[in-house]
Structure 1
Amino acid sequence: ATARLLEPWLGSGLNIDELPVPRLIIVTIDEASPPDFAAMRAAITPKIPTAALDDHRTWVDRLVAMAHTTVTIGIAVLALMLSATVLTVVFATRGAMAGNGHIIEVLHFVGAEARFIAREFRWHFLVTGMKGAAAGGALAIVVFIVFSWWSSRNMATPEADQATALFGNFAIGSAGYFGVGLMVLVIGALTAATSHATVVAYLSDIDVRQPDAG
């Protein structure tokens, strides 16, 4: 293998024994029961002083730490996005109720149940949330398709190698598309639930203020 690696520069028919080429031995370990690297290093060094045992632990630990940091940042961004969605729906629902406050109060006072009024708002914001989430999901799919196409067109280039090393493979597969669809449903359900809770809280506040108004 060493001769084949050196062949483009030194030609064929090399006698590796006559060249001061370091020997590289790659050993695959059992991850379930890894060996004691410290004991191996202590046993090898006295017998072969010029030998070096590299278990890539430092390099792997850095990659693992970077991956964990990236996952944590992604979860934090998702939590912020969901929080922003909830606050946006709350303010939008309150704005809609403020614009139709007199109608809501009349309906409530003449006997319309809170569930009936909340159901109308819930359905409206469910449809609106599903439309927005579907638009965002479609845009995300388009972004993945474009980057996947770019990666396939620039395969084996430094740019593609760097992008793959940083972000991984842009092809998300059927599971990824299913995840996008599931996220659309989650956003729609979250929007509907938030609007429902906001309307119920608003009507409860009306009930609290009703004796004062009378």
Structure 2
Amino acid sequence: MTEPPSRNPEKASAKTQQKRPELRVRPTAPILPPSNIQGSALMVVISIMAFLACLTLGGVSMVRSTAASWESQISREITIQIKPDDNLDMEKALTQARDLALTFVGTKSGQIVDEAATARLLEPWLGPGLDLKDLPVPRLVIITIDESNPPDFDSMRALLKESIPQATLDDHRTWVDRLVSMAHTTVMIGTGILLLVFTAMVLTVVFATRGALSGNRHVVEVLHFVGAESSFVATEFQKHFLKISLKGSAIGSALAALFFATAGFWQSRTLATPETDQATALFGTFSVGVLGYAGIFATMIVIALLTTFTARLTVMRTIYEIDTLRSDPTRTDGIGS
């Protein structure tokens, strides 16, 4: 006798499912190709913009740090200058000027700049082996003061003039004002350059986004016509430009960080040369420090976000124009033609 067919529905359903072919969902392709000539060119432009922005930021940071260091050093000291005279005992006058200055509240210490140190100060202009006795070179007394409680400079100046007519007091206020003005001017110039770089980058992204939309306008119109929301299309473009901007800004920021690291290393290895000494005196150290590198990283993130936000706004604006053309029956240059 033949065995009756199985009446178990679960077994029958399992056999049927085993015979059916598996349905595979085809992965959706992105609206924009992952890489093309326009994307590569945009990445290069963003790299250059990021490099210039980070270079400007690091330069402004270096100048501000150097100006702050100069201002701090100048604010901590005042200088008494005594001009030579035939009837003046220079060494006695230097000691007397130092002692008079130290009697004022707010002074900490005084140092007489000896002849050897004075000759070293004049060596870059007058050459080595200078004999100060042959030249009417003024002598200096450096007084260290309390920045939080400075002495009465007017009274000190009057007392020195009365006791030693050849003595003059320089409190460096003019230099401090010039340094503060220079620092503010440098910050304004750097801010202006950063704004120009960001503006150029935004315009470049706008043109690149519109170019990508023009090349894929039929795809965007079809997607939008069948019901795709503007946010969906904008998100696809946003992802595409986010990847490009992250790569470009990372390359430019890394090159800027490498530049500052290389310059700092070169400066540390050539400190004894006159060229490096002059550069250090003028610009300070080329090392931007931890805050400088953090600023470079922050600039990279800002550039990536700004690029992405610009691309999204451009796409939304373009889709709005498409909707306007479709809803206007009098226009024949859009999708309704």
Q: So what's the TM-score if we normalise by structure 1?
A: 0.85
Q: Specify the code of the residue in structure 1 equivalent to 2:199.
A: S
Which residue in the other structure is 1:63 paired with?
Answer: 179
Q: Specify the code of the residue in structure 2 equivalent to 1:85.
A: M
Residue 44 of structure 1 and its aligned partner are, at CA, apart by 2.4
Residue 84 of structure 1 and its aligned partner are, at CA, apart by 1.0
Which residue in the other structure is 1:17 paired with?
Answer: none
Residue 51 of structure 1 and its aligned partner are, at CA, apart by 1.1
Q: Specify the code of the residue in structure 2 equivalent to 1:44.
A: L
Residues 165-190 of structure 1: CA deviation (Å, up to 9, x unaligned) = 33321122333222222211111111
Q: Specify the code of the residue in structure 1 equivalent to 2:293.
A: Y
Matches within 5 A, 1:22-171: 24-171=140-287
| Distance in structure 1 (CA, Å) of the matches to 2:191 and 2:163 | 50
Residues 64-103 of structure 1: CA deviation (Å, up to 9, x unaligned) = 3222222211111111111111111111101100111111
Which residue in the other structure is 2:289 paired with?
Answer: 173
Residues 123-174 of structure 1: CA deviation (Å, up to 9, x unaligned) = 1001100111011011111211221122122103221122223332112233
| Distance in structure 2 (CA, Å) of the matches to 1:113 and 1:180 | 37
| Distance in structure 2 (CA, Å) of the matches to 1:167 and 1:69 | 15
Residue 5 of structure 1 and its aligned partner are, at CA, apart by 4.0
Count of residue pairs the alignment pairs up:
205
The structure with the largest alpha-carbon Rg is: 2
Which residue in the other structure is 1:15 paired with?
Answer: none
Q: Specify the code of the residue in structure 2 equivalent to 1:124.
A: H
Residue 4 of structure 1 and its aligned partner are, at CA, apart by 6.3
- The percent of aligned pairs where both chains have the same amino acid is 55
Question: As a proportion of its length, which structure holds more helix?
Answer: 1
3-state SS in 1 of match to 2:328: helix
Which residue in the other structure is 2:88 paired with?
Answer: none
| Distance in structure 2 (CA, Å) of the matches to 1:103 and 1:164 | 58
Residue 7 of structure 1 and its aligned partner are, at CA, apart by 10
3-state SS in 2 of match to 1:183: helix
Distance of aligned partners of 1:171 and 1:96 in 2 relative to their CA distance in 1, 3 Å threshold? same
Question: As a proportion of its length, which structure holds more strand?
Answer: 2
312, 322, 334: which is aligned to 1:196?
A: 312
Distance of aligned partners of 1:161 and 1:6 in 2 relative to their CA distance in 1, 3 Å threshold? closer
Residues 15-67 of structure 1: CA deviation (Å, up to 9, x unaligned) = xxxxx996633222232333332333223212221111011222232233222
Distance of aligned partners of 1:21 and 1:127 in 2 relative to their CA distance in 1, 3 Å threshold? closer
3-state SS in 1 of match to 2:168: coil
Which residue in the other structure is 2:34 paired with?
Answer: none
Gaps of 5+ in 2: 1-111, 121-128, 131-135, 330-335
3-state SS in 2 of match to 1:195: helix
**Greater mean alpha carbon deviation, residues 155-164 or residues 23-32:** 23-32
